[in-house]
Structure 1
Amino acid sequence: MIKLIQPYISFDEVKKDFEEIFDSGWLTKGKYIQQFMQDLQHYINIKYAYATTSATTALSVCLKALNIQSCDEVIVSDFSFPATSNVLEDLGIKPVFADVCLSSFNMLPEELERKISNKTKAVIFVHALGNPSGISRIQEICKYYKIPLIEDAACAIGSSELGIKAGAFGDLGCFSFHPRKLLTTGEGGAVVFNNQCFEQFFEIKLNHGAVYHQGKFDFIDFGYNYRLPELQAVMGIKQLKKLDKIIQERNQIREVYIQYLKPLGFQEQEINQNVIFNVQSMVFVVPKNISRNDLITYLYENGIESTLGTYCLSGTSFSKSKYKDVQKNAKFLEDSTLTLPCYQGVDVEYISQTIKRFLTK
């Protein structure tokens, strides 16, 4: 089976550091977490970074940092994994779904402006499948209306627009280090930001609400244990060092896919000028005259793992029953996108020829 993704990490890379951690007995809140976050700050060119257990917990604590209440609304990109809106539902905050561009798959600026109201307390821009295209325009709109911008950059580590890395545009940025991401720690995530006003909040909230004072901890607020272990931080450090090379390789694979599949009627996810795309996922819109689901089944029968692009949040059974307003572009993309394997050594020619056979069978 040609898998959809393979992690860019081996045991040999981490073995020595793992042994040091086990020998020390220091499994959490040690030097490796500190180094990983410092390396992340340097890589993104941002002042603050805090590790979390996932992008989901990162998003959740960001909403709390902005003091968003259950009577408030947050405008969110409609083409994303449900975690993006789940964090809002968990806090009783109403998600207002903004439709997306059919070519970039990202939030449409005109949709954002149309849906801003006096209840809007934040915007969550999703870098769809790692693509940052259009984030600078969304940033301009948020600044104009004085609305905080949260970047769901779960898929976008290493991507950039206008020379600015994903995560550094918003008031707050969130990353995922899930196994399907380019940089994985097994599970894990991070919050990043530039504004010092958030520093104390995250220091306390991510440490059970505690501060260290006069030789003991004083719990001055309620908080959480969203800590990433030392072992996982080692994995992140090793991959971050080679991330730019990984991204370059994936873009080369992307170009080969496009050469094979575009003549067959497949449309790649488009990126803007002045964008570096990390190719987190190799996604195409399939031709109109074929069944995407039948193609996924056919590929699996021929030893190739594939899946849909991602989900229309407003079209899930939960959201549809609650809000009744399904965004048509996002729904089209959920039904028509295909994610293909993309990593070093993947047999693009075999995958493409298998797709061609499906089209002609």
Structure 2
Amino acid sequence: MIKLIKPYISFDEVEKEFREIFESGWFTKGKFVEAFREEIKIYTGAKYSYLATSATTALTVCLKILKIGEGDEVIVSDFSFPATANVVEDVGARPIFADVDKATFNMLPEELEKKITKKTKAVIFVDALGNPSGIHEISEICKKYRIPLIEDAACSIGSSENSVRCGNIADLTCFSFHPRKLLTTGEGGAITTNNPAYAKILDVKLNHGSILVDGKFDFVDVGYNYRLPELQAVMGIKQLKKLDQIVRERNKVKDRYVDLLNPLGFKAQAVSADVLHNIQSLVFVVPDEVDRDNLILKLKKNNVETTLGTYCLSGCTYFKNKYQDIQVNSQYLNAKTLTLPCYDGLDFTFVKEGILRSL
């Protein structure tokens, strides 16, 4: 089976540190967690960074920081994994779905402005499949209306726009380190911010709501245990050191795909001229005459793992039944996008033979 992605980490790379952790018995809140936090801060350019158990828990904490709850609205990019909207539902607020650009797959600025109301308490911009194209324009709109911007950067560690890395653009940024990501810790996530007020709250919220007073803990707020363990932090540190190289390699793979698939009518996800895309997922829009789902099944029979791009949130059964507000472009992309295997050393024979045979 040609897999979608292979992890950029091996046991040999972490064996020494893993042994050290086991021998010390210090599995949490240790030096590797603090080192990983610091490395993320340096890499992104953000002033503050925090680790979490996933991008989902990270997004939830960010909504809590902004005191978003019942009666509030949060505008979200409609083409994303359901977690983006689930966290809004979970705090009792309403997700307002903003349609996306059919080329970049990202939130359209005109759709955002059209949906801002007095109830809007935040905007969640999704770097679709690692692509931050347009985030600075969205940020300017949020500043204009004085609405906090949360960047769902679950896929975009290593990406940038205007030479500014994801994690150093929005008011709050949330990363994922899931196994499908370029940097994986098995499960895991991170939050970055440049806002000292938000950082002060995160210090408390991510420590069970506690502060240290005269050597004793005082619990001054509702908090959480969303800690990343030491073992996972080691994995993160190792991969972050080679992330830029990984991004360069994946862009070369994308260029090869484009050369092969453009003549067949496949269109790669577009990125702005000022964007470095980490190619977290390599996604094409299939030709109009091609049944994407059938193509996925045929490629599977040829031992090639593929999947859809991602989801039209407003078209998912739960949100469709509750809000009946399906976004047209997102719905189109839900049906017509295809994610293809992407990693260094990929044998492209399957593109010439498997895809051609499947069309």
How would you bin the TM-score normalised by the shorter chain? over 0.9
Deviation for aligned residue 1:69: 2.1
- Counterpart of 1:50 in structure 2 is 50
Provide the C-alpha distance between the structure 2 equivalents of 1:65 and 1:172, rounded to a whole number of angstroms: 10
Q: Matched residue of 1:223: which SS?
A: coil
- Counterpart of 1:184 in structure 2 is 184
- Residue type at the aligned position of 1:6: K
* TM-score, length-scaled by structure 1: 0.98
Q: How does 1:1-361 map to 2 (within 5 A)?
A: 1-359=1-359
Q: Matched residue of 2:307: which SS?
A: coil
Q: Matched residue of 1:8: which SS?
A: coil
Q: Matched residue of 2:298: which SS?
A: helix
Provide the C-alpha distance between the structure 1 equivalents of 2:179 and 2:295, rounded to a whole number of angstroms: 24
Q: Conserved in 2, the CA contact under 8 Å of 1:150 and 1:173? A: yes
Deviation digits for residues 295-316 of structure 1 (CA, Å, limit 9, x no counterpart): 0001000010000000000000
Provide the C-alpha distance between the structure 1 equivalents of 2:197 and 2:317, rounded to a whole number of angstroms: 38
- Residue type at the aligned position of 1:346: L
Q: Conserved in 2, the CA contact under 8 Å of 1:266 and 1:286? A: yes
Deviation for aligned residue 1:352: 3.7
Q: Matched residue of 1:192: which SS?
A: strand
Deviation digits for residues 211-254 of structure 1 (CA, Å, limit 9, x no counterpart): 12222211111210000000000000000000000000000000
Q: Matched residue of 1:88: which SS?
A: helix
Provide the C-alpha distance between the structure 1 equivalents of 2:282 and 2:353, rounded to a whole number of angstroms: 16
Deviation digits for residues 125-173 of structure 1 (CA, Å, limit 9, x no counterpart): 0000000100111011111111100000000001000001112111100
Deviation for aligned residue 1:345: 1.5
Provide the C-alpha distance between the structure 1 equivalents of 2:206 and 2:348, rounded to a whole number of angstroms: 43
**Unaligned segments of structure 1, at least 5 residues:** none
Q: Conserved in 2, the CA contact under 8 Å of 1:257 and 1:352? A: no
Deviation for aligned residue 1:210: 1.1
**Unaligned segments of structure 2, at least 5 residues:** none
Count of residues in correspondence between the two structures: 359
Q: Matched residue of 2:75: which SS?
A: strand
Identity of aligned pairs, percent? 62
Calculate the aligned-residue CA RMSD, in Å.
0.7
Q: Could you tell which deviates more after superposition, 245-254 or 207-216?
A: 207-216
Deviation for aligned residue 1:322: 0.4
Q: Conserved in 1, the CA contact under 8 Å of 2:260 and 2:351? A: no
- Residue type at the aligned position of 1:288: D
Q: Conserved in 2, the CA contact under 8 Å of 1:304 and 1:351? A: no
Provide the C-alpha distance between the structure 2 equivalents of 1:49 and 1:171, rounded to a whole number of angstroms: 12
Provide the C-alpha distance between the structure 1 equivalents of 2:71 and 2:308, rounded to a whole number of angstroms: 34
Q: Matched residue of 2:308: which SS?
A: coil
Q: Which runs of 4+ in 1 moved over 2 A?
A: 348-353
Provide the C-alpha distance between the structure 1 equivalents of 2:131 and 2:353, rounded to a whole number of angstroms: 27
Q: Could you tell which deviates more after superposition, 83-92 or 347-356?
A: 347-356
Provide the C-alpha distance between the structure 2 equivalents of 1:353 and 1:224, rounded to a whole number of angstroms: 51
Q: Matched residue of 1:238: which SS?
A: helix
Deviation digits for residues 314-357 of structure 1 (CA, Å, limit 9, x no counterpart): 00000000001100100000010000000111112323431111
Q: Conserved in 1, the CA contact under 8 Å of 2:36 and 2:234? A: yes
- Residue type at the aligned position of 2:200: Q
* TM-score, length-scaled by structure 2: 0.99
Deviation digits for residues 28-72 of structure 1 (CA, Å, limit 9, x no counterpart): 000001000100000000110000000000000000111112111
Q: 1:41 to 1:214 in 2, by over 3 A?
A: same
